[in-house]
Chain A
Amino acid sequence: MNAASVTTTLAKFGRFTLFLGRLVAGVPSTLRRPRLLLEQVHMTGALSLVIVMLSGLFVGMVLGLQGYDLLRRFGSTESLGTAAALGLLRELGPVITALLFAGRAGTAITSEIGLMLATDQLAAMDMMAVDPVRRICVPRFLGGVVSMPLLAAIFATIGIFGAQVVGVAMMGVDSGQFWSQMRGAVELRDITEGVVKSLAFGIACSAIAVFEGYHALPTAEGVGRATTRTVVNSSVAILAIDYMLTAVLL
């Protein structure tokens, strides 16, 4: 990496930060129009439900199998519930939901805004004295921020159910111990950690998706590249933020 590309990256990061500031500044005006926000919670959240629930089920089932195999070696299979719940609530729930969100909702946001840019819809709005950042970008950003913790919670819940199906129904772990150990070990701060993480991922993923769409080159290729950048940048951001938050919150 040479000096020019470092400068370009830093400049882009600076533009992103300023754009994030504009998004946050626009939040109060969106809150005054709850219909706009609800539409976006539906688009980003409700329409991502199927993929999130299916993934949650399978991740939970894999956790059930792997966890059972690992715990069996130490003779403590009854801790399977605790292991699955902690893993899902603190780590896998927020992270995998965020990665799925970037692929499902993030790409949809970027390509939609990019195409609106390419077809002069944003310029037309600007000419009608309607700020496209406030009218288009902020509701999508806020919709993502609201949806992400809800999706992560659903992911974790279904995941625990999946682990229970495998552990209790298939592997024969005692159902009472599965649940009672989990209830004894999981604390409020474990849930808080998951909520904080998924909020942070929601802010990062939604802001990246909106930023890339709004700054896409207004051509077919430009919108395609912007959509790719959304997935790549969001994924890296999710994993980097995850490490930082884990280090702080543990």
Chain B
Amino acid sequence: MRSEDCVARFDDVGYTVGGRQVLSGLDFAIERGRVTALMGPSGTGKTTLLKLLTGQIQPTAGRVTVIGQDLAMLDRRGLYALRRRMGMLFQNGALLTDLDVYENVAFPLREHTDLPEPVVARIVLMKLESVGLRGAARLLPAELSGGMARRVALARAVVMDPEILIYDEPFAGLDPIALGMVLKLIRDLNQALGITSIVVSHDVHVIERLADRLVLLSGGRIAAAGTPAALAADPDPVVRQFMSGSAEGPVPFHYPAVDVATDMLGTD
């Protein structure tokens, strides 16, 4: 992949905390204008990977580059300048509960620009219209359903027209209709605005419909990477177990423990 096609790059990245290796040997690039999905069983380091990607934590090995900048080289000011070019959708929306929907979407504009109120209003209402919630502008976050809250958060995440949009479990806990809406929005944003999307999710079937490329993590390493079709056909047992959602396979059902006889009977 040419460097101008690549929006973020992990070069042999590892992360160790408290003597425990959470991630190791991560080596991959995220292509501009595409939807890349990061998948993997729970506790496999997906959230840690997102934190590395957004500069919330620094890798203990290797290098993370985002929009051509080495994150380790940036101070707070530099990191904030970079983050203005990124948007992030949190799992629960993370809307500011003391502000209404309109003010939530306007928040980044008010903090970072001196735009006059009519311009702010136009941008905010346009973004709310694009997620179908212009009519909910004066509702408080507590009055929204889970799906609506996530759509408002999405409007807020794109209000500064970011180059990269990161979605942390965007489909978790949504009913099928809300899920369909969010799925359509992610695809539309990606295609209409050319935003590079990075989606973290467990939901294999939804992701297969959405992503151009999948990166499957297992045990803190990349188990497989490729198109959804390629991963579906992958013979690797870990990939097969995850893609088919089977309880049987190399990813164990039991958390590591001492022998059952020792625990139950108190004998060796």
Q: Which residues of A contact B (CB under 8 A)?
A: 116, 119-121, 123-131, 135
A127 lies within 8 A of B54 (CB): yes
A121 lies within 8 A of B97 (CB): yes
| Given A123-B90, A124-B95, A130-B112; 17 other pairs, CB 8 A cutoff | A116-B96, A119-B94, A120-B90, A120-B91, A120-B94, A121-B94, A124-B96, A126-B56, A127-B54, A127-B86, A128-B108, A128-B156, A129-B84, A129-B108, A129-B112, A131-B76, A131-B80
A127 lies within 8 A of B83 (CB): yes
Main secondary structure on chain A at its contact with chain B? helix
B28 interface contact, C-beta 8 A: no
A123 lies within 8 A of B94 (CB): yes
A124 lies within 8 A of B112 (CB): no
A128 vs B91: C-alpha distance when bound (angstroms): 15
B90 lies within 8 A of A130 (CB): no
B126-142 CB contact bits vs A (8 Å, 1 = yes)? 00000000000000000
B97 lies within 8 A of A119 (CB): yes
Main secondary structure on chain B at its contact with chain A? mixed
Q: Which residues of B contact A (CB under 8 A)?
A: 54, 56, 76, 80-81, 83-84, 86-88, 90-92, 94-97, 107-108, 111-112, 153, 156, 160
B54 lies within 8 A of A128 (CB): no
A135 lies within 8 A of B111 (CB): yes
Looking across the interface, which residue of chain A has its beta carbon closest to that of B108?
Answer: A128
**7 nearest interchain CB pairs?**
A124-B94, A120-B94, A129-B80, A129-B83, A127-B88, A129-B84, A120-B90
In whole Å, how far is A116's beta carbon from the nearest beta carbon of chain B? 8
A125 vs B112: C-alpha distance when bound (angstroms): 12
Q: What chain B residues lie within 8 Å of A121 (beta carbons)?
A: 94-97
A128 lies within 8 A of B96 (CB): no
B81 lies within 8 A of A124 (CB): no
Interchain residue pairs with CB less than 8 A apart (17): A121-B94, A121-B96, A123-B90, A123-B94, A124-B95, A124-B153, A125-B96, A128-B83, A128-B108, A128-B111, A129-B84, A129-B108, A130-B107, A130-B111, A130-B112, A131-B80, A135-B111
